[in-house]
Amino acid sequence: MNRWTGLLALWLALPWLLLAEDYQADDLPDDHMGMAYELEEMTAPIPLPVNPYKPMLPFMLSISPGLQVEQSARPRDDIPSTVTRESLTLRADCPTPTLGMIGLSFQREYSQYRETVDAPGTPFSGLSASRLSTARFGLNHRLKLNDSWSVMSAGNVTYSVENGVAWNDSRTYGGLFSGRYQATPTLGVMLGIFAHTQMEDKTRVWPIPGLDWRITDRLTLITTQGATLAYDLTGQDRWLAECSVLFDQRTYKLDGDAPYPNGYIKDRQLPLITGIKYRPAKWLYTRLQVGATLWQEYQLENAEADTVERRTDNPGVLAEWSAGLTYW
């Protein structure tokens, strides 16, 4: 965790170092790990219009650290399996008078898989001491055409590796184009196409439908790759109760010393998460969540991308903390 000490100190100090005037922009979309953040970031609505006042910076800078712990059990012998993830997201979004919002993002996540007993017959035998990491560089563009229509396009390059593997051996690309229609003042409808190359397989393409529905003044439903229901506890957008169910998947390239050298490991899960989000100011939030993995599957492939081992764990539990700061 030492690598995060300086970044966390910077994140905590930024409000006092930089904020010389009140933050007046609308909120940026939240970035938090473990909830299919790649699509969540790509399909978020335009975060804010161009403001009439002159900002201190020509762009919005957003910093979001996170920590997640998951625990499940192997189905044969109930040996506990624990996953710890540390994450950091940096975003810079630049509003323009005519071209809409142009943004850059960088996301970094470290994952540590551990089992109480390093027993044979598990995909993570020999991997318990390894750290798996993901780095993603993104570029996105959001343009509001009129009061009803907006369009979004986004692309990224992602690297997911075990420590010691060259990044270029795991490089994949993703892209999305979508349109969003504000059908009523309380209902937005989105339809897009998402494509992503695979390290070990052919490029995949998915349609991405979505809703942004303010059911009442306090209750909101958002869907992209799952569903998130949020309730404003105070009516002032400070305390939000959230409940989400979202499919998530991670694929990592393994090194030459792994049980199946130069192979791949996949971690798929369907978590149900509830939590509380506190926003003391427009530019700052913190979130604490707990939940259960309704379904989780690990799949190990050799260098030829043939499946050699597959395991579905018993339902497990997870806890996650995340926060975000935006300077404008």
Instruction: State the Cα–Cα distance between residues 271 and 296, nearest whole angstrom.
Output: 8
The CATH class given to the 2-327 domain equals: mainly beta
> Residues 164, 54: contact at Cβ < 8 Å?
no
pLDDT of 275: 97
Half-sphere exposure of 159 (CA within 13 A, CB side): 14
pLDDT of 78: 66
Name the burial class of residue 328, with classes exposed (0-12), middle (13-18) and buried (19+) by CB atoms within 10 angstroms of its CB: buried
pLDDT of 50: 39
Residues in the chain: 328
Residue whose entry in the numeric block shows the structure tokens 């003391």: 280
- The structure's pTM equals 0.81
Query: Is the model's pLDDT at 255 over the cut of 90?
Result: no
Instruction: Write the CB contacts of 311 (distance below 8 Å, at least 6 apart in sequence).
Output: 74, 75, 122, 123, 297, 298, 299
Query: Is the model's pLDDT at 101 over the cut of 60?
Result: yes
- Residue 45's φ and ψ, nearest 5 degrees, are -70, 170
110 confidence band (pLDDT: 50, 70, 90):
very high
Instruction: State the Cα–Cα distance between residues 162 and 171, nearest whole angstrom.
Output: 13
Chain segment 258-272, per-residue pLDDT in tens: 777 888 989 999 999
SS (H, E, C) 33-78: CCCCHHHHHHCCCCCCCCCCCCCCCCCEEEEEEEEEEEEEECCCCC
State whether residue 129 is helix, strand or coil: coil
pLDDT of 18: 36
How many other CB atoms are there within 10 angstroms of residue 184's CB atom?
Answer: 10
Q: What does DSSP assign to residue 97?
A: T
Instruction: State the Cα–Cα distance between residues 95 and 205, nearest whole angstrom.
Output: 30
> Residues 250, 160: contact at Cβ < 8 Å?
yes
Over pLDDT 70: what percentage of the chain? 75
> Residues 165, 159: contact at Cβ < 8 Å?
no
Which of the pair, 318 or 200, is modelled with greater confidence? 318
Q: Domain limits of the chain? A: 2-327
**Mean pLDDT calculated for residue range 202-224:** 92
